[in-house]
């Protein structure tokens, strides 16, 4: 038997759900179904790979319009893992370029810009993965620099602010691939200065900690999720007054003070005078009291 077009589309849709759960890509059933309907309306091929890529693209558009840059950064890393499983190393390396771009820009969710001191450098595990991919592709460090600039020019999102220009980011990326950590003090002179009065993004000159429960947390249920950014800050604990746990000794007066207490005259007690009894009122006399 040969499956019809509708049958192949149905099998591919089921396979998209299976690949999503197997790769832990974080797509919902509604997002996969919407991507399938969009491809079917456009009369485009509905393979499992194309359905997942369309769902990824729809989430990219939503996060870009909403200014959810931290979520977009984590989505780019998820797509990088997707292309690694598809043996498309160059496209996977391009997705990791975008992860590095958003990390060094300083932009977070809701168009919030962190201070330069809070700038989050890309994890060393992602840098090692990028280095492995570029070695498998036979790319030199200069080729990586050129490919990084062209990739973010073609596919990079339009950010409201970035601490570094693409050229400076390319230099930082080459240093990270060589095994050097990001040096804040060295590049602070080349960093752009944020504008606190800008309406395109929200910037605070002091580190900001959102209230408890408002952070963007992720459930690190797999090794892939461990490379995502977790924006959850613990509120400071107020100071507590410490009380000693042992009992103090009771006060004991000195011998001299005891003698003075003994010499004190006792207070005169009032004694009732005989012969003078208190007159009873007529109610008490009637009751016989």
Tell me what the pLDDT averaged over the chain comes to. 80
pTM of the model: 0.70
Q: Which residues pair with 202 in a beta bridge?
A: 112
Is the Cβ–Cβ distance between 93 and 133 less than 8 Å? yes
Per-residue DSSP letter, 87:
T
Tokens 């975008």, located at residue: 98
Q: With 50 as the cut, is the pLDDT of residue 288 above it?
A: yes
What pairs with residue 203 in β-bridges? Answer: 113
Read off the pLDDT of residues 260-284 as tens digits, 9 standing for 90 and up: 666 665 555 555 555 555 566 666 6
Contact status, residue 118 vs residue 208, Cβ threshold 8 Å: no
Lowest mean pLDDT among 18-27, 51-60, 270-279: 270-279
Q: List CB contacts of 85: < 8 A, sequence separation 6 or more.
A: 23
pLDDT at 176 over 70: yes
Asked if residue 139 has pLDDT above 50, the reply is yes
What pLDDT is stored for residue 9 in this prediction? 66
Sorted by sequence, the CB contacts under 8 Å of residue 158 that are 6+ apart come out as 64
Q: Do strands 202-203 and 112-113 pair parallel, antiparallel, or not at all (unpaired)?
A: parallel
Q: What is the DSSP letter of 86?
A: T
Q: Residue 120 has what pLDDT?
A: 85
Q: Which residue has the higher pLDDT, 252 or 86?
A: 86
Confidence of residue 18 (pLDDT cuts 50, 70, 90): confident
Query: What spatial distance separates the first Cα and last Cα of the chain, rounded to whole Å?
Result: 121
Q: 3-state class of 203 per DSSP?
A: strand
The residue count for the chain: 289
Residue 270 has φ and ψ, to the nearest 5°, of -75, 125
Q: 289 or 22, which is more confident?
A: 22
Asked which of 43-47, 106-110, 173-177, 270-274 is least confident by mean pLDDT, the reply is 270-274
């Amino acid at each position: 038997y040969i499956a019809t077009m509708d049958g192949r589309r149905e099998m591919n849709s089921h396979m998209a759900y299976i690949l999503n759960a197997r790769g832990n890509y974080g797509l919902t059933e509604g997002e996969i179904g919407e991507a399938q309907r969009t491809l079917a309306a456009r009369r485009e091929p509905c393979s499992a790979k194309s359905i997942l890529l369309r769902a990824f693209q729809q989430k990219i558009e939503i996060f870009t319009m909403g200014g959810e840059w931290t979520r977009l950064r984590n989505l780019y890393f998820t797509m990088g893992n997707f292309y690694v499983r598809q043996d498309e190393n160059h496209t996977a390396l391009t997705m990791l370029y975008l992860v590095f771009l958003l990390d060094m820009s300083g932009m977070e969710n809701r168009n919030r810009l962190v201070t330069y001191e809070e700038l989050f450098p890309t994890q060393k595990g992602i840098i090692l993965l990028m280095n492995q991919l570029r070695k498998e592709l036979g790319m030199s460090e200069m080729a990586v620099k050129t490919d990084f600039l062209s990739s973010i020019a073609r596919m990079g999102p339009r950010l409201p602010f970035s601490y570094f220009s693409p050229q400076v980011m390319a230099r930082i990326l080459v240093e990270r691939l060589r095994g050097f950590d990001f040096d804040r003090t060295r590049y602070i002179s080349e960093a752009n200065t944020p504008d606190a009065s800008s309406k395109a993004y929200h910037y605070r000159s002091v580190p900001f900690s959102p209230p408890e429960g408002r952070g963007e947390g992720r459930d690190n249920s797999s090794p892939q999720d461990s490379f995502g950014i977790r924006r959850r800050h613990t509120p400071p604990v107020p100071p507590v007054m410490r009380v000693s746990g042992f009992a103090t000794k009771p006060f004991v007066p000195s011998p001299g003070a005891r003698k003075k207490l003994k010499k004190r005259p006792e207070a005169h007690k009032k004694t009732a005078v005989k012969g003078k009894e208190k007159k009873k009122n007529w109610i008490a006399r009637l009751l016989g009291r």
